Amino acid sequence: MRGVFLTLEGLDGSGKSTQARLLAQALEARGLRVRLTQEPGGGLPGVRDLLLKGEPLSPEAEYLLFSADRAEHVRRVILPALEAGFWVVSDRYLDSSLAYQGYGRGLSLPWLLAVAQEATGSLKPRLTFLLDLPPEEALGRVRDPDRLEGLGLPFFQRVREGYLELARAEPQRFRVVPAAAPVEEVHRAILAHLEGLLGVG
């Protein structure tokens, strides 16, 4: 039986990593086999520091490095887990690149999508939870900014609007979850979406 692919998206500081971990734990508590993973670094572990802590990169090089990592992530981690019947919960996936390198950095969305089709084999999540938070609040939560987090408020305003535009374009896949609420309330909202759509609850 093929597994289910779930992703969590949102601005840095929106609580994705916390919610991904809580979601994985909740699924495991229901007797499901779960693979918790993340990007960048899910496919090529060394690329995370290069992208987030290294020297400045052109937007194009940045995206191609994210894509190389994603190609390996899909082939080494996500697809094998899905084929083995696991529920895969990923903290970020392709939508992060569309929002950050597309809407934020200004790269061509058709080019991003053309590269992504080859890198991912057109693999899409069954559901994507967008943890939506005003950029001012999200950045205020970040304690140790990485290279992308240092790009400033206007950049993150564009990224947030990009995420919301992606969600409007695919309402059947995206579930927008207000992330300003307490952690447990956000977690319950995510589980409520799963209960209604996938019979988990």
Residue tagged 């089709």 (tokens): 117
CB neighbour list of residue 198: distance below 8 Å, 6 or more residues apart: 4, 126, 127
Is the distance from CB of 129 to CB of 19 less than 8 angstroms? yes
16 annotated to bind ligand: yes
DSSP-derived secondary structure for 113-179:
HHHHHHHHTT---SEEEEEE--HHHHHHH-SS--TGGGG-HHHHHHHHHHHHHHHHH-TTTEEEEE-
Residue 4 parent element (H or E) = strand 4-10
d(CA 111, CA 134): 28
Buried b (16+ CB within 10 A) or exposed e, 148-174: bbebeeebbbbbbebbbebbeeeeebb
The structure tokens listed for 80 are 């094998």
The structure tokens listed for 78 are 């996500």
10 annotated to bind ligand: yes
11 annotated to bind ligand: yes
58 annotated to bind ligand: no
17 annotated to bind ligand: yes
150 annotated to bind ligand: no
122 annotated to bind ligand: no
65 annotated to bind ligand: no
Residue list for the binding site: 10-17
Q: Which residues are annotated as a binding site for ATP?
A: 10-17
